[in-house]
């Protein structure tokens, strides 16, 4: 059957209330243009565009859709600890994608680190902090003797073993970042205590990285009167962050902005519960609004947050980078305006800083009932509720066992029992998911899901839109699903 032309499809999609138009699309595009922020620090993959035949749009086939969805998927299994494995995936809407993610095992202390980073105003800040943040956190958790050893050896790579690291930073920036990190290590060693508190250290590491992003622009400028356009692009773009540290049953989640962490818990009667660990820092959070209003004069109450955005421009009310909302007006005039023009200073900019990178840190003690955690950028949560996501992963857990070959429970099993086993398996195969990777499973349902299941036409239409149009319907999506080891948690000391 012929597919209608793309302009007809778009009109249909725009009229349908099944699709969400991202409220910050126009703001982000305009901001990136007038800031002149470089679009990328490295090459990323372009989105799939539908081909045309005789002027008619030819949408991707089911096989091509699956190829698109699985392009960035990754899986890692562990042989010890409270995390058995994790699945991750990303799906771009922007070109290039502005989300990043990272995962690493601490090498000098126990603990697994995982983070999701959602950039805006370009991908620069998100890419940079994804390369640097886990090292900052791993260093903050070290006792004094190990910090001194690390400084003596000058080997920051010994801090963490990263997985699936796809981001590359240009060489001249790497030298700047190494110098900043060494200074950070020396200050940690001078002020470190024997028993680091994880919550405090997470806060300190995140805040210090954000401060270094500013220093890497301002200190060279103060010394030589020259601004490095690469460090400036990182400082003026921004990113929200959700990063977790897991050590046995102890789970800490640090959140800055509007990414979220949700735990899937199984009740005694085998029902799924979604435990939302984090709270978004946006205009829907009344406590966050009260905090911002309290930090500025009463005369600014109508301008500090307008149209549900900071100064009428930025949707997240906390983030890393975004120094356009943190530096003084004089600093912006000296550093940013010569390169970016007068609009580098927001309207109604009277009492900066307006923005903070201060994370909220949450603690949760894992129990055997906690089966998995979903860590994702807001692109997923715009399309699925926490409970919908948890139920989808729970169903996926049940169905993915059928990806493995059938194993007989014992050698002397009777033929009749084998027949019953095969009959049960054949019936259960109906629930087998299309994707082995749970993050991909979530992506498929987030984009193409309906109350009757996944609609291939809807999925194909949305995946074939050009980036400038796609961004009107959905955001970049990054998902990591961590699976917990119930037996390990069952035998942990209380």
pTM over 0.95: no
Of 76, 108, 121, 92, whose CA–CA distance to 346 is shortest?
Answer: 121
Arch. (CATH architecture) of 6-490? 4-Layer Sandwich (3.60)
More confident: 448 or 7? 448
How would you class 81 by CB atoms within 10 Å of its CB: exposed for 0-12, middle for 13-18, buried for 19 or more?
middle
Alpha carbon dihedral 148, 151, 156, 161, in 10-degree steps, equals -20
* pLDDT of residue 444 exceeding 80: yes
Cβ–Cβ under 8 Å, residues 300 and 350: yes
User: Residue 418: its pLDDT value, please?
Assistant: 75
- Residues 213 and 236: their CA atoms lie apart, in Å, by 10
Q: What is the pLDDT of residues 26-76, one digit of tens each?
A: 333 333 333 333 333 333 334 445 565 555 668 999 999 999 999 999 999
| DSSP string for residues in 266-298 | E-TTS-EEEEE-----STT-HHHHHHHHHTS-G
- 138: Cβ contacts below 8 Å, ≥ 6 apart: 104, 106, 107, 108, 109, 113, 159, 160
Residue 20: band (very low, low, confident or very high) from pLDDT cuts 50, 70, 90: very low
**Do the Cβ atoms of 229 and 355 come closer than 8 Å?**
no
DSSP state of 110: S
Q: What is the pLDDT of residues 111-121, one digit of tens each?
A: 999 999 999 99
DSSP 406: P
Instruction: Check whether 12 has a pLDDT greater than 90.
Output: no
Mean pLDDT of the chain: 87
pLDDT for 494 equals 59
- Using one digit for the tens of pLDDT, what is the confidence trace for 460-485? 999 999 998 999 999 999 999 999 99
pLDDT band, very low/low/confident/very high, at 14 (cuts 50, 70, 90) = very low
In angstroms, the CA 441 to CA 390 distance is 12
Task: Match 């979903």 to its residue by tokens.
Answer: 374
Confidence of residue 153 (pLDDT cuts 50, 70, 90): confident
DSSP three-state, residue 60: coil
Q: Residue 227: what pLDDT?
A: 95
> Is the N-terminal amide bond of 353 cis, ω within 30° of 0?
yes
Q: Is the pLDDT of residue 437 over 50?
A: yes
| Secondary structure (H, E, C), 291-347 | HHHHCCCHHHHHHHEECCEECCCECCCECEECHHHCCCHHHHHHHCHHHHCHHHCCC
From the list 138, 166, 191, 161, the residue with the least C-alpha distance to 41 is: 166
Instruction: Report whether the peptide linkage leading into residue 388 is cis, meaning its omega lies within 30 degrees of zero.
Output: no
Report the pLDDT value the prediction gives residue 175, as an integer from 0 to 100. 93
Confidence at 411, pLDDT banded by 50, 70, 90? confident
Domain ranges (residues) in the chain: 6-490
pLDDT at residue number 129: 97
- Per-residue buried b or exposed e for 157-170, using 16+ beta carbons within 10 Å of the residue's own CB: eebbebbeeebebe
Helical (H) or strand (E) element with 102: strand 99-106
């Amino acid at each position: 059957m012929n597919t209608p032309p793309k302009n007809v499809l778009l009109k249909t999609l725009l009229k349908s209330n099944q699709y969400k138009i991202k409220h910050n699309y126009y703001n982000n595009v305009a901001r990136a243009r007038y800031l002149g922020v470089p679009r990328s620090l490295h090459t990323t993959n372009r989105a799939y565009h539908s081909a045309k035949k005789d002027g008619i749009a030819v949408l991707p086939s089911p096989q091509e859709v699956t190829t698109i969805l699985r392009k960035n998927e990754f899986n890692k299994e562990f042989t010890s600890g409270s995390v058995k494995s994790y699945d991750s995936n990303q799906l771009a809407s922007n070109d290039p994608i502005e989300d990043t993610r990272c995962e690493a095992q601490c090498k000098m202390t126990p603990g697994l680190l995982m983070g999701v980073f959602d950039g805006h105003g370009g991908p620069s800040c998100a890419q940079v902090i994804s390369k640097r943040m886990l090292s900052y956190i791993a260093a903050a958790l070290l006792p004094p003797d190990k910090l001194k050893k690390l400084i003596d050896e000058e080997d920051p790579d010994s801090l963490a073993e990263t997985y699936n690291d796809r981001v590359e930073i240009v060489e001249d920036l790497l030298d700047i970042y190494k110098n900043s990190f060494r200074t950070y290590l020396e200050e940690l060693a001078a002020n470190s205590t024997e028993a680091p508190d994880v919550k405090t250290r997470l806060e300190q590491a995140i805040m210090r990285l954000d401060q270094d992003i500013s220093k890497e622009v301002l200190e060279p400028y103060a010394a030589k009167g020259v601004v490095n356009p690469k460090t400036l692009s990182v400082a003026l773009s921004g990113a929200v962050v959700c990063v977790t540290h897991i050590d046995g049953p102890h789970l800490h989640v640090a959140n800055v902005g509007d990414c979220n962490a949700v735990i899937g818990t199984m009740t005694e009667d085998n029902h799924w519960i979604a435990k939302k660990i984090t709270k978004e820092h946006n205009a829907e959070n009344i406590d966050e609004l009260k905090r911002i209003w309290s930090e500025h004069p009463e005369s600014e109450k109508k301008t500090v947050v307008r149209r549900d955005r900071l100064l009428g421009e930025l949707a997240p009310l906390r983030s890393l980078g975004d120094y356009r909302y943190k530096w003084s007006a004089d600093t912006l005039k000296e550093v940013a305006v010569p390169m970016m023009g007068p609009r580098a200073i927001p309207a109604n900019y009277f009492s900066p800083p307006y923005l903070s990178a201060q994370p909220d840190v949450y603690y949760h003690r894992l129990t055997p009932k906690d089966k998995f955690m979903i860590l994702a950028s807001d692109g997923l949560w715009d399309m699925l509720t926490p409970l919908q996501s948890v139920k989808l992963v729970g169903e996926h857990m049940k169905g993915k066992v059928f990806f493995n070959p059938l194993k007989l429970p014992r050698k002397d099993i009777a033929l009749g029992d084998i027949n019953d086993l095969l009959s049960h398996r054949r019936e259960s195969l109906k629930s087998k998911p299309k994707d082995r990777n749970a993050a991909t499973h979530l992506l498929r349902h987030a984009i193409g899901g309906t109350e009757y299941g996944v609609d291939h036409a809807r999925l194909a239409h949305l995946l074939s839109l050009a980036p400038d149009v796609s961004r009107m319907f959905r955001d970049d999506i990054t998902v990591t699903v961590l699976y917990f080891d119930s037996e390990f948690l069952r035998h942990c000391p209380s």
